[in-house]
């Protein structure tokens, strides 16, 4: 029986991607070697790196003339400090919009390097909405945003109207919807939600923005080190990049980012529809800021929580337990989650309603 994986991350990947990854862990094509033992300087792995990079350009509709695309290690957590270390001078100003735990961490790391300040926050209501209508210092070097908040199930539906470029953590939504790329100085994303297994971080940098490095930093922490060597200054995380490449191949085969968005809107609509209809449940995020990726909801009667989690498990819907800072339930419905999985969860909710009528 199929298990539907609603974990927030590491998270579901397309079945055919995992099948191909499994095959290549035994032998990549007819090379006689596993992808796990192949030199990053071999022509086969170089081709993987090239295709991965080219796919990012293609999927986002951006050009190598304007953007650098890197595959780094260390997770989005390393990008919190690397972005500030590379781009925020001691006397420069950066604005941080605080929409949850990850934003807060990004801000804390940046504070060590320059004048970072939180210019808006939804902390007062446990981050259940995206702040709007705040003042932005147009002299800021950048504005840092977490475009989708995995823990709290909120998402920027539109982005601030400003000339200040964004540095944006898109870990839990990369390649899930069409965006106006011109507003972003840097986008970073840990792979382990919409892109691949844990162990690689995608970084997309506008060249004009990224050229303005502020201070001397260790070689490995300087983005330009990796730009110059196409992410192979040192040994890259070959297998996580390979699987990410396969996922991007899968996205392209299934119509690209626009098709993903259409499917994601349909899935999210189905699940939020049931949350709003079913008298037992209610959503936690403000309706206008609801995430298409992470759907957070509660039972009105919280004594039924364990019962609903059991019902989900019985129906092979796993990873539905909410993060401790919100409680209740969280269904992560990334690109790779089929509509059948969401329908299954909706069915469980309906049955639970009947059983507890």
Closest contact distance (angstroms) between CB of 253 and a second copy is 19
Q: Interface with a second copy includes 13 (CB under 8 A)?
A: yes
Q: What sign has the CA pseudo-torsion 345, 351, 356, 357?
A: positive
The one among 114, 237, 283, 322 contacting a second copy by CB under 8 A? 237
Q: Interface with a second copy includes 239 (CB under 8 A)?
A: yes
Residue closer to a second copy (CB basis): 136 or 221 = 221
Q: Which residues are catalytic?
A: 102, 169, 193
Q: Tell me the per-residue interface mask from 319 to 338 with a second copy, x by CB under 8 A, - otherwise.
A: x-------------------
Long-range contacts of 260-267 (CB under 8 A, 24+ apart): 260/175, 260/176, 260/177, 260/335, 261/176, 261/177, 261/178, 263/335, 263/339, 264/176, 264/177, 264/292, 264/293, 264/333, 264/335, 265/292, 266/339, 267/292, 267/333, 267/337, 267/339, 267/342
Segments of the chain assigned E as strands: 4-5, 67-72, 93-98, 115-121, 142-146, 148-149, 154-155, 166-169, 184-190, 201-206, 281-283, 294-299, 317-318, 329-332
CA dist 295 and 161 (Å) reads 27
Residue closer to a second copy (CB basis): 75 or 307 = 75
Closest contact distance (angstroms) between CB of 199 and a second copy is 3
Q: Interface with a second copy includes 43 (CB under 8 A)?
A: no
Which ranges of 15-123 does DSSP label H, i.e. alpha helix?
15-26, 43-60, 75-87, 101-110
Residues 185-224 that bind a second copy (CB under 8 A): 190, 192, 196-200, 216, 218-221
Residue closer to a second copy (CB basis): 73 or 115 = 73
# residues contacting a second copy (CB under 8 A): 65
The one among 80, 107, 297, 352 contacting a second copy by CB under 8 A? 80
Spatial CA neighbour of 246 closest among 318, 166, 154, 336 = 336
Q: Which residue has the tokens 């972005």?
A: 83
The one among 16, 51, 214, 233 contacting a second copy by CB under 8 A? 233
Residues 272-301 that bind a second copy (CB under 8 A): none
The one among 73, 157, 162, 278 contacting a second copy by CB under 8 A? 73
Structure tokens at 268: 């999210």
Q: Interface with a second copy includes 111 (CB under 8 A)?
A: no
Eight-state DSSP code of residue 177: S
The window from 147-155, 181-189, 234-242, 297-305 that contacts a second copy (CB under 8 A) reads 234-242
Which residues of the shown chain bind a second copy in the complex (CB under 8 A)?
1-3, 5, 7-13, 18-19, 21-23, 25-26, 31-34, 36-40, 42, 73-78, 80-81, 85, 105, 108-109, 112, 190, 192, 196-200, 216, 218-221, 233-240, 243, 316, 318-319
């Amino acid at each position: 029986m199929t298990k539907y994986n609603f974990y927030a991350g590491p998270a579901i990947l397309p079945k055919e991607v995992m099948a191909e990854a499994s095959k290549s862990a035994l032998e990549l094509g007819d090379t006689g070697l596993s992808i796990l033992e192949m030199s990053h300087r071999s022509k086969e792995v170089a081709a993987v790196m090239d295709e991965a990079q080219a796919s990012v350009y293609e999927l986002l509709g951006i050009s190598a003339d304007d953007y650098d695309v890197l595959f780094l290690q260390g997770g989005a957590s390393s990008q919190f400090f690397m972005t500030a270390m590379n781009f925020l001078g001691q006397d420069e100003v950066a604005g941080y919009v605080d929409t949850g735990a990850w934003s807060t961490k990004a801000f804390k790391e940046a504070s060590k390097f320059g004048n970072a300040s939180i210019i808006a926050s939804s902390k007062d209501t446990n981050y259940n909405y995206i702040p709007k209508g705040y003042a932005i210092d147009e002299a800021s070097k950048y504005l840092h945003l977490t475009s989708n908040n995995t823990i709290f199930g909120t998402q920027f539906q539109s982005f601030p109207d400003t000339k200040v470029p964004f540095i944006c953590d898109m870990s839990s939504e990369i390649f899930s919807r069409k965006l106006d790329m011109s507003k972003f100085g840097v986008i970073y994303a840990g792979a382990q939600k919409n892109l691949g297994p844990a162990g690689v971080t995608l970084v997309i940098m506008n060249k004009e923005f990224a050229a303005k490095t502020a201070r001397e930093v260790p070689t490995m922490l300087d983005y330009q080190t990796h730009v110059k060597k196409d992410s192979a200054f040192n040994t890259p995380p070959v297998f996580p990049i390979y699987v990410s490449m396969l996922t991007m191949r899968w996205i392209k085969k299934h119509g690209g980012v626009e098709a993903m968005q259409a499917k994601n809107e349909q899935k999210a609509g189905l699940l939020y529809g049931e949350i709003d209809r079913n008298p037992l449940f209610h959503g936690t995020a403000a309706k206008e800021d609801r995430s298409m990726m992470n759907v957070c909801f509660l039972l009105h009667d919280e004594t039924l929580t364990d019962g609903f989690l059991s019902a989900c498990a019985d129906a092979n819907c796993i990873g539905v337990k909410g993060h401790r800072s919100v409680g209740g339930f969280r269904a992560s419905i990334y690109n790779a989650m089929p509509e059948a999985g969401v329908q299954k969860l909706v069915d469980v909710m309906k049955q639970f309603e009947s059983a507890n009528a």
